[in-house]
Amino acid sequence: MDLGLTERVYVLTGASKGLGYATAEYLVADGARVVLSARDADAVADAAQRLGGPERAVGVAADLGDPTTPERLVAAAREHFGRLDGALISVGGPPPGTVASVTDEQWRASFETVFLGAVRALRAVAASLTDGGAIGLVLSTSARSPVPGLGISNGLRPGLVGAAKDVADEYGPRGVRVVGLLPGRILTDRNRELLAAAGDPGLALTEIEAGIPLRRIGDPAEFGRVAAFVLSPAASYLTGITIPVDGGALRTL
Secondary structure (DSSP) of 109-154: HHIIIIIIIHHHHHHHHHHH--TT-EEEEE--GGGTSPPTTBHHHH
Dist. CA 60–CA 41, nearest whole Å: 7
**Any idea where the domains of the chain sit in the sequence?**
9-188+222-244
The predicted model gives 101-111 an average pLDDT of: 96
CATH topology of domain 9-188+222-244: Rossmann fold (3.40.50)
pLDDT at 192: 84
At 245, give phi and psi (nearest 5°): -125, 85
Dist. CA 141–CA 232, nearest whole Å: 23
Terminal Cα-to-Cα distance of the chain (whole angstroms): 28
Return mean pLDDT, the chain: 95
- The pLDDT tens digits of the residues spanning 77-91 come to 999 999 999 999 997
CA dihedral 221, 129, 137, 21 (to 10 degrees): 30
